[in-house]
DNA sequence: TATTCCGATAGTGAC
DNA sequence: GTCACTATCGGAATGAG
Protein backbone atom coordinates (compact mmCIF):
# COMPACT_ATOMS: atom_id res chain seq x y z
CA UNK A 1 0.00 0.00 0.00
CA UNK A 2 1.38 3.34 -1.00
CA UNK A 3 2.01 5.90 1.79
CA UNK A 4 -0.44 8.38 0.23
CA UNK A 5 -3.19 5.90 0.94
CA UNK A 6 -2.31 5.34 4.58
CA UNK A 7 -0.70 8.64 5.58
CA UNK A 8 -3.75 10.02 7.33
CA UNK A 9 -4.11 6.83 9.32
CA UNK A 10 -0.80 7.55 11.02
CA UNK A 11 -2.23 10.83 12.28
CA UNK A 12 -5.46 9.20 13.35
CA UNK A 13 -3.32 6.93 15.50
CA UNK A 14 -1.37 9.62 17.29
CA UNK A 15 -1.82 13.22 18.30
CA UNK A 16 -3.76 15.09 15.58
CA UNK A 17 -1.85 18.20 16.61
CA UNK A 18 1.23 16.77 14.95
CA UNK A 19 -0.64 17.44 11.69
CA UNK A 20 0.28 20.72 9.98
CA UNK A 21 -2.28 23.47 10.54
CA UNK A 22 -2.72 23.63 6.78
CA UNK A 23 -4.18 20.12 6.89
CA UNK A 24 -5.90 19.79 10.27
CA UNK A 25 -8.99 21.89 10.67
CA UNK A 26 -10.02 20.77 14.15
CA UNK A 27 -10.28 17.69 16.34
CA UNK A 28 -12.03 16.23 19.35
CA UNK A 29 -11.41 13.21 21.57
CA UNK A 30 -12.85 10.84 19.04
CA UNK A 31 -12.55 12.51 15.62
CA UNK A 32 -10.43 14.84 13.58
CA UNK A 33 -11.49 17.05 10.69
CA UNK A 34 -9.07 17.85 7.90
CA UNK A 35 -9.06 19.81 4.68
CA UNK A 36 -9.36 17.49 1.71
CA UNK A 37 -6.09 17.90 -0.13
CA UNK A 38 -7.91 17.74 -3.47
CA UNK A 39 -11.26 19.46 -2.87
CA UNK A 40 -13.92 18.40 -5.38
CA UNK A 41 -16.27 21.23 -4.36
CA UNK A 42 -15.91 24.78 -3.15
CA UNK A 43 -15.87 23.36 0.39
CA UNK A 44 -14.59 19.89 1.08
CA UNK A 45 -13.48 18.37 4.40
CA UNK A 46 -12.95 14.89 5.79
CA UNK A 47 -13.97 13.63 9.22
CA UNK A 48 -11.84 10.70 10.44
CA UNK A 49 -12.37 8.71 13.64
CA UNK A 50 -9.30 8.51 15.84
CA UNK A 51 -7.94 5.05 16.57
CA UNK A 52 -5.58 3.14 18.79
CA UNK A 53 -2.98 0.81 17.37
CA UNK A 54 -2.83 -2.83 18.39
CA UNK A 55 0.61 -2.21 19.87
CA UNK A 56 1.02 0.10 22.86
CA UNK A 57 3.82 2.13 21.32
CA UNK A 58 1.65 5.05 20.45
CA UNK A 59 -0.53 4.91 23.53
CA UNK A 60 2.00 6.37 25.94
CA UNK A 61 1.16 9.73 27.59
CA UNK A 62 4.25 11.29 25.97
CA UNK A 63 2.47 11.44 22.66
CA UNK A 64 0.77 14.58 23.80
CA UNK A 65 -2.34 16.00 25.39
CA UNK A 66 -4.39 15.29 22.30
CA UNK A 67 -4.59 11.61 23.15
CA UNK A 68 -7.50 11.18 25.54
CA UNK A 69 -9.36 8.05 26.57
CA UNK A 70 -6.97 5.95 24.51
CA UNK A 71 -8.55 2.80 25.85
CA UNK A 72 -11.96 3.66 24.46
CA UNK A 73 -10.75 4.34 20.94
CA UNK A 74 -11.45 1.61 18.39
CA UNK A 75 -8.63 -0.32 16.79
CA UNK A 76 -7.30 1.11 13.57
CA UNK A 77 -7.75 -2.29 11.93
CA UNK A 78 -11.51 -2.02 12.48
CA UNK A 79 -11.59 1.45 10.90
CA UNK A 80 -10.16 0.70 7.48
CA UNK A 81 -13.49 1.45 5.87
CA UNK A 82 -17.22 1.53 6.51
CA UNK A 83 -17.41 -2.09 5.47
CA UNK A 84 -14.64 -3.06 7.86
CA UNK A 85 -16.31 -1.25 10.73
CA UNK A 86 -19.75 -2.73 10.12
CA UNK A 87 -18.34 -6.25 9.80
CA UNK A 88 -15.87 -5.97 12.70
CA UNK A 89 -15.75 -8.66 15.33
CA UNK A 90 -14.38 -6.22 17.92
CA UNK A 91 -17.04 -3.54 17.46
CA UNK A 92 -20.70 -4.50 17.93
CA UNK A 93 -23.60 -2.93 16.08
CA UNK A 94 -24.23 -0.31 18.77
CA UNK A 95 -20.53 0.49 18.93
CA UNK A 96 -20.45 1.01 15.19
CA UNK A 97 -23.52 3.22 15.37
CA UNK A 98 -21.89 5.27 18.14
CA UNK A 99 -18.79 5.85 16.04
CA UNK A 100 -20.84 6.90 13.02
CA UNK A 101 -23.07 9.12 15.15
CA UNK A 102 -20.07 10.89 16.65
CA UNK A 103 -18.70 11.37 13.14
CA UNK A 104 -22.02 12.84 12.07
CA UNK A 105 -22.02 15.19 15.07
CA UNK A 106 -18.53 16.33 14.14
CA UNK A 107 -19.66 16.75 10.55
CA UNK A 108 -22.67 18.84 11.57
CA UNK A 109 -20.37 21.27 13.38
CA UNK A 110 -18.25 21.42 10.24
CA UNK A 111 -21.36 21.96 8.16
CA UNK A 112 -22.31 24.96 10.31
CA UNK A 113 -18.84 26.41 9.86
CA UNK A 114 -19.13 25.95 6.10
CA UNK A 115 -22.54 27.64 6.02
CA UNK A 116 -21.21 30.66 7.91
CA UNK A 117 -18.40 30.87 5.36
CA UNK A 118 -20.81 30.49 2.43
CA UNK A 119 -22.85 33.41 3.68
CA UNK A 120 -19.76 35.50 4.32
CA UNK A 121 -18.02 34.83 1.02
CA UNK A 122 -20.90 34.33 -1.41
CA UNK A 123 -23.91 35.91 0.26
CA UNK A 124 -26.00 32.75 0.34
CA UNK A 125 -26.07 29.22 1.68
CA UNK A 126 -26.37 26.02 -0.34
CA UNK A 127 -26.54 22.41 0.72
CA UNK A 128 -23.72 20.42 2.30
CA UNK A 129 -23.53 16.66 1.81
CA UNK A 130 -22.05 14.26 4.35
CA UNK A 131 -21.24 10.68 3.58
CA UNK A 132 -18.95 7.88 2.47
CA UNK A 133 -17.73 6.41 -0.77
CA UNK A 134 -19.01 2.93 -1.49
CA UNK A 135 -15.54 1.88 -2.63
CA UNK A 136 -12.98 4.15 -1.00
CA UNK A 137 -9.32 3.92 -1.85
CA UNK A 138 -7.78 5.61 1.19
CA UNK A 139 -7.08 3.13 3.97
CA UNK A 140 -8.91 4.76 6.91
CA UNK A 141 -12.60 5.39 7.40
CA UNK A 142 -13.39 8.93 6.29
CA UNK A 143 -16.64 10.85 5.96
CA UNK A 144 -16.76 13.53 3.30
CA UNK A 145 -18.30 16.89 4.26
CA UNK A 146 -18.68 18.56 0.92
CA UNK A 147 -20.69 21.48 -0.42
CA UNK A 148 -23.31 20.58 -3.03
CA UNK A 149 -21.75 22.24 -6.06
CA UNK A 150 -18.92 20.01 -7.35
CA UNK A 151 -17.35 23.13 -8.79
CA UNK A 152 -13.62 22.72 -8.39
CA UNK A 153 -10.45 22.71 -10.43
CA UNK A 154 -9.51 19.40 -8.82
CA UNK A 155 -12.57 17.64 -10.17
CA UNK A 156 -11.00 16.17 -13.29
CA UNK A 157 -12.38 12.73 -13.99
CA UNK A 158 -15.69 10.98 -14.44
CA UNK A 159 -15.00 8.88 -11.36
CA UNK A 160 -14.47 12.03 -9.30
CA UNK A 161 -17.87 13.34 -10.30
CA UNK A 162 -19.80 10.10 -10.07
CA UNK A 163 -18.28 9.32 -6.67
CA UNK A 164 -20.08 12.38 -5.26
CA UNK A 165 -23.27 12.31 -7.32
CA UNK A 166 -25.88 12.47 -4.56
CA UNK A 167 -28.43 10.22 -6.26
CA UNK A 168 -26.23 7.63 -7.94
CA UNK A 169 -25.69 5.25 -5.04
CA UNK A 170 -21.91 5.40 -4.84
CA UNK A 171 -22.03 8.26 -2.36
CA UNK A 172 -23.59 6.90 0.85
CA UNK A 173 -25.19 9.73 2.81
CA UNK A 174 -24.58 9.45 6.55
CA UNK A 175 -28.31 9.71 7.34
CA UNK A 176 -28.99 6.90 4.90
CA UNK A 177 -26.33 4.75 6.53
CA UNK A 178 -27.76 5.44 9.99
CA UNK A 179 -31.21 4.25 8.87
CA UNK A 180 -29.68 0.82 8.20
CA UNK A 181 -29.33 0.38 11.97
CA UNK A 182 -33.04 0.85 12.55
CA UNK A 183 -34.13 -1.30 9.62
CA UNK A 184 -34.87 -5.01 9.75
CA UNK A 185 -31.90 -7.19 10.59
CA UNK A 186 -31.89 -8.85 7.16
CA UNK A 187 -31.68 -5.46 5.48
CA UNK A 188 -28.85 -4.41 7.76
CA UNK A 189 -26.98 -7.66 7.10
CA UNK A 190 -27.51 -7.14 3.39
CA UNK A 191 -26.19 -3.59 3.34
CA UNK A 192 -23.06 -4.21 5.38
CA UNK A 193 -21.99 -7.08 3.13
CA UNK A 194 -22.06 -5.06 -0.08
CA UNK A 195 -18.68 -5.60 -1.72
CA UNK A 196 -16.74 -2.81 -3.40
CA UNK A 197 -17.32 -4.57 -6.72
CA UNK A 198 -20.99 -3.64 -6.46
CA UNK A 199 -20.16 0.07 -6.32
CA UNK A 200 -17.35 0.25 -8.86
CA UNK A 201 -19.48 0.09 -12.03
CA UNK A 202 -21.41 3.16 -10.88
CA UNK A 203 -18.34 5.31 -11.47
CA UNK A 204 -18.49 4.63 -15.19
CA UNK A 205 -22.11 5.52 -15.91
CA UNK A 206 -22.77 8.52 -18.17
CA UNK A 207 -22.42 12.01 -16.71
CA UNK A 208 -25.75 13.41 -15.64
CA UNK A 209 -26.22 16.72 -13.87
CA UNK A 210 -27.36 16.21 -10.28
CA UNK A 211 -29.32 19.49 -10.46
CA UNK A 212 -31.34 19.02 -13.67
CA UNK A 213 -30.58 15.42 -14.72
CA UNK A 214 -29.38 16.53 -18.16
CA UNK A 215 -26.75 14.26 -19.67
CA UNK A 216 -23.40 15.90 -20.33
CA UNK A 217 -21.21 14.42 -23.01
CA UNK A 218 -17.85 14.98 -21.36
CA UNK A 219 -16.11 16.41 -18.31
CA UNK A 220 -15.25 19.88 -19.67
CA UNK A 221 -18.88 20.34 -20.73
CA UNK A 222 -20.13 19.07 -17.39
CA UNK A 223 -17.83 21.43 -15.50
CA UNK A 224 -19.08 24.47 -17.41
CA UNK A 225 -22.64 23.30 -16.78
CA UNK A 226 -22.04 22.84 -13.05
CA UNK A 227 -20.53 26.29 -12.82
CA UNK A 228 -23.59 27.71 -14.60
CA UNK A 229 -25.93 25.83 -12.29
CA UNK A 230 -24.13 27.31 -9.30
CA UNK A 231 -24.35 30.83 -10.76
CA UNK A 232 -28.06 30.22 -11.31
CA UNK A 233 -28.49 29.21 -7.65
CA UNK A 234 -26.66 32.32 -6.57
CA UNK A 235 -28.70 34.68 -8.72
CA UNK A 236 -31.97 32.96 -7.74
CA UNK A 237 -31.02 33.64 -4.17
CA UNK A 238 -30.28 37.27 -4.92
CA UNK A 239 -33.68 37.59 -6.56
CA UNK A 240 -35.30 36.18 -3.43
CA UNK A 241 -33.39 38.63 -1.28
CA UNK A 242 -34.41 41.56 -3.47
CA UNK A 243 -38.04 40.48 -3.29
CA UNK A 244 -37.76 40.36 0.47
CA UNK A 245 -36.27 43.84 0.47
CA UNK A 246 -39.00 45.08 -1.84
CA UNK A 247 -41.61 43.46 0.40
CA UNK A 248 -40.14 45.11 3.49
CA UNK A 249 -40.06 48.33 1.59
CA UNK A 250 -43.74 47.92 0.68
CA UNK A 251 -44.65 47.36 4.28
CA UNK A 252 -42.96 50.61 5.18
CA UNK A 253 -44.50 52.57 2.37
CA UNK A 254 -47.41 51.31 0.29
CA UNK A 255 -46.83 53.94 -2.37
CA UNK A 256 -43.30 52.94 -3.32
CA UNK A 257 -43.04 52.56 -7.08
CA UNK A 258 -40.99 49.67 -8.38
CA UNK A 259 -38.92 51.08 -11.21
CA UNK A 260 -36.98 47.99 -12.18
CA UNK A 261 -37.77 44.53 -13.32
CA UNK A 262 -36.00 41.90 -11.33
CA UNK A 263 -33.98 40.01 -13.97
CA UNK B 1 -15.74 11.88 -48.40
CA UNK B 2 -13.40 14.57 -47.15
CA UNK B 3 -11.48 16.67 -49.74
CA UNK B 4 -8.13 15.45 -48.37
CA UNK B 5 -9.12 11.94 -49.32
CA UNK B 6 -10.07 12.77 -52.92
CA UNK B 7 -7.88 15.80 -53.63
CA UNK B 8 -5.19 13.87 -55.46
CA UNK B 9 -7.79 12.22 -57.66
CA UNK B 10 -8.70 15.60 -59.10
CA UNK B 11 -5.10 15.98 -60.24
CA UNK B 12 -5.00 12.44 -61.58
CA UNK B 13 -7.97 13.47 -63.72
CA UNK B 14 -6.44 16.60 -65.20
CA UNK B 15 -3.03 17.93 -66.04
CA UNK B 16 -0.56 16.87 -63.31
CA UNK B 17 1.35 20.08 -64.02
CA UNK B 18 -1.41 22.00 -62.28
CA UNK B 19 -0.03 20.41 -59.09
CA UNK B 20 2.39 22.61 -57.13
CA UNK B 21 6.03 21.66 -57.67
CA UNK B 22 6.29 21.04 -53.94
CA UNK B 23 3.86 18.12 -54.35
CA UNK B 24 4.45 16.74 -57.85
CA UNK B 25 7.79 15.03 -58.34
CA UNK B 26 7.36 13.86 -61.93
CA UNK B 27 4.80 12.38 -64.28
CA UNK B 28 4.41 10.39 -67.50
CA UNK B 29 1.50 9.71 -69.84
CA UNK B 30 0.02 7.12 -67.53
CA UNK B 31 1.26 7.92 -64.02
CA UNK B 32 2.26 10.70 -61.71
CA UNK B 33 4.65 10.57 -58.78
CA UNK B 34 4.17 12.86 -55.81
CA UNK B 35 5.82 13.52 -52.48
CA UNK B 36 3.85 11.94 -49.66
CA UNK B 37 2.65 14.89 -47.60
CA UNK B 38 3.32 12.93 -44.39
CA UNK B 39 6.42 10.81 -45.11
CA UNK B 40 6.65 7.79 -42.81
CA UNK B 41 10.27 7.13 -43.81
CA UNK B 42 13.27 9.19 -44.81
CA UNK B 43 12.07 8.85 -48.42
CA UNK B 44 8.39 8.43 -49.22
CA UNK B 45 6.61 8.93 -52.54
CA UNK B 46 3.33 7.91 -54.11
CA UNK B 47 2.75 6.68 -57.64
CA UNK B 48 -0.79 7.29 -58.92
CA UNK B 49 -2.21 6.15 -62.24
CA UNK B 50 -3.78 8.93 -64.28
CA UNK B 51 -7.46 8.59 -65.15
CA UNK B 52 -10.20 9.97 -67.31
CA UNK B 53 -13.49 11.07 -65.86
CA UNK B 54 -16.79 9.63 -67.08
CA UNK B 55 -17.84 13.09 -68.26
CA UNK B 56 -15.95 14.81 -71.07
CA UNK B 57 -15.53 18.06 -69.22
CA UNK B 58 -11.94 17.45 -68.29
CA UNK B 59 -10.97 15.72 -71.52
CA UNK B 60 -10.81 18.85 -73.65
CA UNK B 61 -7.46 19.81 -75.18
CA UNK B 62 -7.49 23.10 -73.25
CA UNK B 63 -6.57 21.29 -70.07
CA UNK B 64 -2.98 21.29 -71.22
CA UNK B 65 -0.31 19.36 -72.98
CA UNK B 66 -0.02 16.94 -70.10
CA UNK B 67 -3.17 15.12 -71.13
CA UNK B 68 -2.14 12.54 -73.70
CA UNK B 69 -4.01 9.53 -75.05
CA UNK B 70 -7.04 10.53 -72.97
CA UNK B 71 -9.07 7.77 -74.55
CA UNK B 72 -6.73 5.06 -73.36
CA UNK B 73 -6.70 6.13 -69.72
CA UNK B 74 -8.84 4.03 -67.34
CA UNK B 75 -11.89 5.52 -65.73
CA UNK B 76 -11.34 7.10 -62.33
CA UNK B 77 -14.15 5.00 -60.94
CA UNK B 78 -12.15 1.86 -61.67
CA UNK B 79 -9.08 3.25 -59.92
CA UNK B 80 -10.50 3.90 -56.47
CA UNK B 81 -8.30 1.19 -55.01
CA UNK B 82 -6.49 -2.01 -55.84
CA UNK B 83 -9.65 -3.93 -55.03
CA UNK B 84 -11.73 -1.75 -57.33
CA UNK B 85 -9.27 -2.17 -60.16
CA UNK B 86 -9.00 -5.94 -59.84
CA UNK B 87 -12.78 -6.34 -59.65
CA UNK B 88 -13.62 -3.81 -62.36
CA UNK B 89 -15.99 -4.77 -65.15
CA UNK B 90 -14.41 -2.23 -67.48
CA UNK B 91 -10.81 -3.37 -67.05
CA UNK B 92 -9.93 -6.99 -67.79
CA UNK B 93 -7.24 -8.97 -66.03
CA UNK B 94 -4.57 -8.10 -68.59
CA UNK B 95 -5.58 -4.45 -68.48
CA UNK B 96 -5.23 -4.42 -64.71
CA UNK B 97 -1.84 -6.10 -64.95
CA UNK B 98 -0.74 -3.49 -67.50
CA UNK B 99 -1.72 -0.66 -65.19
CA UNK B 100 0.10 -2.20 -62.24
CA UNK B 101 3.16 -2.97 -64.36
CA UNK B 102 3.35 0.60 -65.57
CA UNK B 103 3.06 1.76 -61.96
CA UNK B 104 5.89 -0.56 -61.02
CA UNK B 105 8.04 0.76 -63.88
CA UNK B 106 7.38 4.29 -62.68
CA UNK B 107 8.19 3.21 -59.13
CA UNK B 108 11.48 1.61 -60.22
CA UNK B 109 12.58 4.90 -61.73
CA UNK B 110 11.66 6.60 -58.48
CA UNK B 111 13.57 3.95 -56.56
CA UNK B 112 16.69 4.68 -58.61
CA UNK B 113 16.33 8.38 -57.85
CA UNK B 114 16.00 7.61 -54.18
CA UNK B 115 19.07 5.39 -54.19
CA UNK B 116 21.17 8.11 -55.82
CA UNK B 117 19.99 10.48 -53.12
CA UNK B 118 20.71 7.94 -50.34
CA UNK B 119 24.28 7.59 -51.56
CA UNK B 120 24.68 11.34 -51.92
CA UNK B 121 23.23 12.30 -48.56
CA UNK B 122 24.07 9.35 -46.33
CA UNK B 123 26.90 7.55 -48.13
CA UNK B 124 25.10 4.25 -48.47
CA UNK B 125 22.02 2.66 -50.01
CA UNK B 126 19.31 0.74 -48.19
CA UNK B 127 16.19 -0.99 -49.45
CA UNK B 128 13.15 0.70 -50.96
CA UNK B 129 9.74 -0.91 -50.68
CA UNK B 130 6.99 -0.53 -53.26
CA UNK B 131 3.41 -1.53 -52.63
CA UNK B 132 -0.15 -0.90 -51.54
CA UNK B 133 -2.09 -0.76 -48.30
CA UNK B 134 -4.58 -3.57 -47.86
CA UNK B 135 -7.14 -1.06 -46.58
CA UNK B 136 -6.27 2.35 -47.99
CA UNK B 137 -8.15 5.41 -46.90
CA UNK B 138 -7.36 7.78 -49.78
CA UNK B 139 -9.86 7.44 -52.64
CA UNK B 140 -7.49 6.83 -55.56
CA UNK B 141 -5.18 3.91 -56.25
CA UNK B 142 -1.72 4.77 -55.00
CA UNK B 143 1.47 2.77 -54.71
CA UNK B 144 3.84 3.71 -51.92
CA UNK B 145 7.54 4.00 -52.78
CA UNK B 146 9.14 4.18 -49.38
CA UNK B 147 12.63 3.64 -48.01
CA UNK B 148 12.99 0.71 -45.60
CA UNK B 149 13.69 2.63 -42.40
CA UNK B 150 10.38 3.97 -41.06
CA UNK B 151 12.37 6.69 -39.36
CA UNK B 152 10.27 9.84 -39.54
CA UNK B 153 8.75 12.46 -37.30
CA UNK B 154 5.43 11.89 -39.02
CA UNK B 155 5.25 8.27 -37.98
CA UNK B 156 3.18 8.73 -34.83
CA UNK B 157 0.75 5.87 -34.38
CA UNK B 158 0.75 2.09 -34.25
CA UNK B 159 -1.39 1.97 -37.39
CA UNK B 160 1.18 4.07 -39.23
CA UNK B 161 3.92 1.59 -38.41
CA UNK B 162 1.96 -1.59 -38.95
CA UNK B 163 0.62 -0.34 -42.27
CA UNK B 164 4.20 -0.39 -43.64
CA UNK B 165 5.57 -3.41 -41.78
CA UNK B 166 7.00 -5.42 -44.70
CA UNK B 167 6.16 -8.87 -43.31
CA UNK B 168 2.82 -8.25 -41.62
CA UNK B 169 0.51 -8.63 -44.59
CA UNK B 170 -1.11 -5.22 -44.54
CA UNK B 171 1.52 -3.81 -46.88
CA UNK B 172 1.12 -5.57 -50.25
CA UNK B 173 4.41 -5.51 -52.15
CA UNK B 174 3.96 -4.83 -55.88
CA UNK B 175 5.94 -7.93 -56.85
CA UNK B 176 3.72 -10.03 -54.60
CA UNK B 177 0.60 -8.56 -56.19
CA UNK B 178 1.98 -9.22 -59.70
CA UNK B 179 2.49 -12.90 -58.84
CA UNK B 180 -1.27 -13.19 -58.30
CA UNK B 181 -1.73 -12.79 -62.04
CA UNK B 182 0.42 -15.81 -62.82
CA UNK B 183 -1.02 -18.00 -60.06
CA UNK B 184 -3.95 -20.37 -60.44
CA UNK B 185 -7.26 -18.72 -61.23
CA UNK B 186 -8.81 -19.75 -57.91
CA UNK B 187 -5.94 -18.11 -56.01
CA UNK B 188 -6.30 -14.93 -58.08
CA UNK B 189 -10.05 -14.85 -57.50
CA UNK B 190 -9.44 -15.35 -53.81
CA UNK B 191 -6.91 -12.54 -53.47
CA UNK B 192 -8.88 -9.91 -55.37
CA UNK B 193 -11.99 -10.46 -53.23
CA UNK B 194 -10.25 -9.82 -49.91
CA UNK B 195 -12.34 -7.24 -48.10
CA UNK B 196 -10.79 -4.36 -46.15
CA UNK B 197 -12.13 -5.92 -42.96
CA UNK B 198 -9.58 -8.70 -43.38
CA UNK B 199 -6.68 -6.24 -43.24
CA UNK B 200 -7.87 -3.86 -40.53
CA UNK B 201 -7.09 -6.08 -37.50
CA UNK B 202 -3.45 -6.29 -38.62
CA UNK B 203 -3.01 -2.63 -37.72
CA UNK B 204 -3.61 -3.38 -34.06
CA UNK B 205 -1.14 -6.22 -33.51
CA UNK B 206 1.80 -5.62 -31.14
CA UNK B 207 4.72 -3.57 -32.38
CA UNK B 208 7.55 -5.76 -33.60
CA UNK B 209 10.74 -4.49 -35.22
CA UNK B 210 10.89 -5.45 -38.89
CA UNK B 211 14.69 -5.68 -38.64
CA UNK B 212 15.15 -7.95 -35.60
CA UNK B 213 11.60 -9.04 -34.71
CA UNK B 214 11.96 -7.74 -31.14
CA UNK B 215 8.69 -6.60 -29.60
CA UNK B 216 8.56 -2.93 -28.63
CA UNK B 217 6.18 -1.89 -25.89
CA UNK B 218 5.12 1.47 -27.28
CA UNK B 219 5.64 3.93 -30.13
CA UNK B 220 8.29 6.17 -28.53
CA UNK B 221 10.37 3.08 -27.70
CA UNK B 222 9.89 1.67 -31.18
CA UNK B 223 10.93 4.94 -32.80
CA UNK B 224 14.17 5.09 -30.82
CA UNK B 225 14.83 1.46 -31.71
CA UNK B 226 14.21 2.07 -35.42
CA UNK B 227 16.55 5.03 -35.36
CA UNK B 228 19.20 2.84 -33.70
CA UNK B 229 18.68 0.09 -36.27
CA UNK B 230 19.22 2.60 -39.05
CA UNK B 231 22.40 3.93 -37.43
CA UNK B 232 23.59 0.32 -37.16
CA UNK B 233 22.96 -0.22 -40.88
CA UNK B 234 24.87 2.92 -41.66
CA UNK B 235 27.88 2.02 -39.52
CA UNK B 236 27.89 -1.57 -40.79
CA UNK B 237 28.13 -0.12 -44.24
CA UNK B 238 31.00 2.16 -43.27
CA UNK B 239 32.84 -0.83 -41.82
CA UNK B 240 32.43 -2.68 -45.10
CA UNK B 241 33.77 0.31 -46.99
CA UNK B 242 36.79 0.63 -44.74
CA UNK B 243 37.54 -3.06 -45.14
CA UNK B 244 37.39 -2.59 -48.87
CA UNK B 245 39.77 0.33 -48.62
CA UNK B 246 42.13 -1.66 -46.41
CA UNK B 247 41.95 -4.55 -48.84
CA UNK B 248 42.79 -2.29 -51.80
CA UNK B 249 45.61 -0.84 -49.77
CA UNK B 250 46.95 -4.34 -49.08
CA UNK B 251 46.95 -5.14 -52.73
CA UNK B 252 49.04 -2.08 -53.41
CA UNK B 253 51.49 -2.72 -50.64
CA UNK B 254 51.67 -5.98 -48.75
CA UNK B 255 53.74 -4.43 -45.98
CA UNK B 256 51.27 -1.77 -44.94
CA UNK B 257 50.70 -1.93 -41.18
CA UNK B 258 47.17 -1.49 -39.95
CA UNK B 259 47.40 0.87 -36.99
CA UNK B 260 43.75 1.14 -36.07
CA UNK B 261 41.07 -1.26 -35.04
CA UNK B 262 37.94 -0.90 -37.09
CA UNK B 263 35.28 -0.11 -34.43
C1' DT C 1 -12.56 4.32 -5.72
C1' DA C 2 -5.40 9.03 -3.49
C1' DT C 3 -2.57 11.81 -7.74
C1' DT C 4 0.36 12.24 -11.57
C1' DC C 5 2.64 10.91 -15.71
C1' DC C 6 2.74 8.67 -19.94
C1' DG C 7 0.83 6.55 -23.67
C1' DA C 8 -2.88 4.17 -26.14
C1' DT C 9 -7.49 4.56 -27.62
C1' DA C 10 -11.76 6.64 -29.44
C1' DG C 11 -14.61 10.23 -31.72
C1' DT C 12 -14.90 14.46 -34.21
C1' DG C 13 -14.34 17.53 -37.60
C1' DA C 14 -11.84 19.10 -41.48
C1' DC C 15 -14.15 22.34 -46.85
C1' DG D 1 -6.44 2.61 -43.12
C1' DT D 2 -5.78 11.01 -44.33
C1' DC D 3 -4.53 14.58 -40.15
C1' DA D 4 -5.20 17.23 -35.93
C1' DC D 5 -7.67 18.01 -31.79
C1' DT D 6 -9.92 16.71 -27.71
C1' DA D 7 -11.02 13.67 -24.32
C1' DT D 8 -11.09 9.08 -22.24
C1' DC D 9 -9.01 5.05 -20.74
C1' DG D 10 -5.23 2.20 -18.95
C1' DG D 11 -1.20 1.03 -16.48
C1' DA D 12 2.84 2.26 -13.38
C1' DA D 13 5.06 4.91 -10.17
C1' DT D 14 4.60 7.52 -6.28
C1' DG D 15 7.75 8.46 -0.43
C1' DA D 16 10.94 7.47 2.61
C1' DG D 17 12.80 4.49 9.05
pLDDT in tens, B2-54: 667 888 888 888 889 988 888 999 999 999 999 999 999 999 999 999 999 76
User: Do A232 and A127 reside in the same domain of the chain?
Assistant: no
Say how far B38 CA is from C1 C1', in Å: 43
User: Do A186 and A256 reside in the same domain of the chain?
Assistant: no
User: Do A223 and A212 reside in the same domain of the chain?
Assistant: yes
Count of the separate structural domains present in chain B = 2
Say how far A115 CA is from D17 C1', in Å: 42
What would you report as the CA-atom Rg of chain A, rounded to the nearest whole angstrom?
22
Nearest nucleotide to A4 (CA to C1') is C2
User: Do B23 and B134 reside in the same domain of the chain?
Assistant: yes
User: Do A35 and A137 reside in the same domain of the chain?
Assistant: yes
Q: For residues B250-262, give the mean pLDDT.
A: 57
Say how far A67 CA is from C5 C1', in Å: 40
End of a domain among B183, B204, B225? B204
User: Do A42 and A59 reside in the same domain of the chain?
Assistant: yes
Residues 6+ apart with CB under 8 A from B120: none
* Chain C, protein-covered positions (CB within 7 A): 1-4, 6-9, 14-15
**How does pLDDT run across B186-212, given as a tens digit for each residue?**
999 999 998 888 999 999 999 999 999
**Is A211 near strand D, with its CB below 7 A from some atom of it?**
no
Nearest nucleotide to A154 (CA to C1') is C3
User: Do A157 and A245 reside in the same domain of the chain?
Assistant: no
Q: For residues B94-120, give the mean pLDDT.
A: 98
**How does pLDDT run across A128-153, given as a tens digit for each residue?**
999 999 999 999 999 999 999 999 99
User: Do B217 and B143 reside in the same domain of the chain?
Assistant: no
Q: For residues A25-48, give the mean pLDDT.
A: 96
User: Do A153 and A222 reside in the same domain of the chain?
Assistant: no
User: Do A73 and A48 reside in the same domain of the chain?
Assistant: yes
Q: What is the CATH number of the domain that holds A181?
A: 3.30.428.10
* Chain D, protein-covered positions (CB within 7 A): 1-4, 6-9, 14-16
Handedness of CA B164, B166, B167, B170 (dihedral sign): positive
pLDDT for the residue numbered A149? 98
d(CA A30, CA B163): 64
d(CA A215, CA A207): 6
Residue nearest to nucleotide D7 (CA to C1'): A218
Handedness of CA A2, A156, A152, A79 (dihedral sign): negative
Nearest nucleotide to A217 (CA to C1') is D7
Contact at 8 Å (CB) between A124 and A237? yes
Nearest nucleotide to B3 (CA to C1') is C15
User: Do B87 and B217 reside in the same domain of the chain?
Assistant: no
Residue nearest to nucleotide D16 (CA to C1'): A3
**Is B157 near strand D, with its CB below 7 A from some atom of it?**
yes
**How does pLDDT run across A102-119, given as a tens digit for each residue?**
999 999 999 999 999 999
For residue A219, give its domain range: 208-263
d(CA B250, CA B263): 19
Nearest nucleotide to B134 (CA to C1') is D1
Contact at 8 Å (CB) between A228 and A216? no
A85: number of Cβ within 10 Å: 20
Amino acid sequence: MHPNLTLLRTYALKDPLTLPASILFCHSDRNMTIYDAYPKSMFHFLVLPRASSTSNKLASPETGGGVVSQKRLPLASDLSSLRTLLNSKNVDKQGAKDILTSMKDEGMKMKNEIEREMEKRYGFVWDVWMGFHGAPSMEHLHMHVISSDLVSEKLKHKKHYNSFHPKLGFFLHIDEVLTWFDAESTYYQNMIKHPFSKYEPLLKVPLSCFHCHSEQKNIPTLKKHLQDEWFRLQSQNERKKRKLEVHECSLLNDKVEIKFIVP
